A and B are shown apart, each in its own frame.
Chain A
Amino acid sequence: MKATKPDAVIAAPVGRLCRPASLQINRLEDGSVIYQPEQERVHFLNQTAALALELCDGRRGFQEVEAQVAERFNLHEPGLNLTGDILQRFIAEGLVKLVSGPAAAAAGAPQANRRRGGVRRGVR
């Protein structure tokens, strides 16, 4: 009998997720429109992606963000890795950076996220 390898497990990157302070976040009732000044790009995010980005505040890692998004949107289906895909995409697009260090125990959103308007440099 041939030995089979267990299914490969892709570990989530280690570190805290942090969005650049320069991002301009425009919140709408069903998502957010993000302006990225360095790249002069505009991103249109649905509610799930918008929340994931909000949670990338430098205090949480992959698992914490995924868990909170799953909780908020009831995404508990096994094998579903929507938030992980979104976060990988954010990193690839430069919307989020992975910084070293363990995630802090973040219970709830920090003040920066609660403030209406968030980071809005250059926006009147």
Chain B
Amino acid sequence: MKRSFSVLDHEVTVTTDRPDWLERLDDIAVRADDPQPIRRTLHLRLRQGPDGILIEHEGQVCAQGEGLDLAIRALHLQINQLVLEPQREVLKLHAAAGTWRGRFFMVTGDRGAGKTTLLLKMMLDGAEMHCDETVLLHDGLLQTFPRKFYVKTGTLKCLPRVAAVCATKRAYPGFFGKQLYFADPTDFGLPWRSRAARPWAVFHLTPAFKKPPVMQPCPKVEMAKQLMMQTVNLAGDLGRHVAHVCRLVGTCRCYSLRVGGLEATAALLKKTLA
């Protein structure tokens, strides 16, 4: 028994001999449309081991999970890692991305800044949401990485429609104590597409949820610094990474967005993108 799906230019096939595990694979299956041709196929297998559930890649055990929830989560991480691994020339940025009325934008900021919640709100208001965690950067061009969105419990309180969708989903153990739900735009009847383009604007988020939101132009040097700090793979040719980031910020608008109440913040973001 198997499940197959594609992530960017990778075809992913996961096999298991347990029928009850098969539906769990649907929780992490990526259903994003991507125009890239398939260049590599990943063969993974999920099987019971003596001390937990084993994840195999090309016949080798590469991860293990105690219990099915942790095993599925580990499998999800393993798939993302295997897809991203060969992309050594690209810079991996911790950022979300969306398109509002044709304008492609990127949102970066520390964990907990509100990227996922804000973009889900934007999505419900008519934006196209591409990703909530990783964007690949090469020569000023952003490629969104179609990882399932991590919807955390804090988001559910702010967005009842998201809460209603997540109520039909299985909760998984989060990485920092709280639960998370794997979701994507198709859960809301919306298209999920990867996108590769130069962004119209980049926003750096800082949280101040009890205060009114504030949008200010961000100096490009400051944005370059923030993006370097949100870079996941600062290895190899650091000078080239710096050049890529500078090329990006040099060709788009840069803003600092203090995230306040969700409605007001989304309204401000839409106004800026208009």
Contact = CB atoms under 8 A, between A and B. Distances in A.
Interface of A: 24, 26-33, 35, 37, 40, 42, 44-46, 120-124
Contacts of B237: 122
Contact of A24 (B221, B243, B245, B249): B243
Given A26-B246, A29-B250, A33-B246, A122 B239 contact: yes
A46 B219 CA distance: 9
B220 A123 contact: no
Interface string B231-248: 000000111101101100
Interface stretch (B51-59, B180-188, B222-230): B222-230
B243 A120 contact: yes
B224 A122 contact: no
Contacts of A123: 239-240, 242-243
Contact of B220 (A29, A35, A124): A29
Given A26-B246, A28-B246, A33 B224 contact: yes
Interface of B is mostly: helix
A112 B240 CA distance: 21
19 contacts: A24-B239, A24-B243, A26-B246, A27-B246, A28-B221, A28-B246, A29-B220, A29-B250, A30-B220, A30-B221, A31-B220, A33-B221, A33-B225, A33-B245, A37-B239, A42-B228, A44-B225, A123-B243, A124-B243
B249 A35 contact: no
Nearest to A24: B239
Interface in B239-268: 239-240, 242-243, 245-246, 249-250
A28 B240 contact: no
